Amino acid sequence: MATTYKRGEHDTRPWGTWEVLDSGENFCVKKITVKPEAILSLQLHNFRSEHWIIVDGTAMIVLDEDILYRQKNDAVYIPVKTKHRIKNTSLTEPLVFIEIQTGDRLDESDIIRFEDNYGRLK
């Protein structure tokens, strides 16, 4: 199945924004901006893996049971079915990272949330 995301698509979330930079058969590249001190939900995906490349700021990343700290030019790989989340550790500056999704199903329905600060648990 191809991605359902389209180049130029964007959205605003309680934690920040995302924009699709490119997409194609079984891949999607997003630029994600996280507000100061904001955190994304603890989640996993059944059908896709993700690669995150930090381009600005400092992040705290939960990857299953591990807590990682990453900054500009660092990268993290999130395998399929791995619980993960990212937090902007700055009090004043946004965190910007590139997310590369690869897999058989690339859409918002492949998000299973375990914790969410914004009331989006299903």
Query: What's the CATH code of the domain at 23?
Result: 2.60.120.10
Residue 122 lies in a domain: no
Instruction: For residue 42, tell me if it sits in a domain.
Output: yes
- Please give the residue range of the domain that contains residue 27: 10-115
120 within some domain: no
Strands, DSSP E only, in 38-94?
42-44, 48-56, 58-63, 66-71, 75-78, 84-88
pTM of the model: 0.91
Q: Is residue 3 part of a domain?
A: no
Quick: pLDDT tens for 81-115. Answer: 999 999 999 999 999 999 999 998 898 889 999 99
The number of CA neighbours under 13 Å toward the Cβ of 33 is: 10
pLDDT in tens, 3-61: 577 888 899 999 999 999 999 989 999 999 999 999 999 999 999 999 999 999 999 99
- Domain-located, residue 68: yes
- 34 part of a folded domain: yes
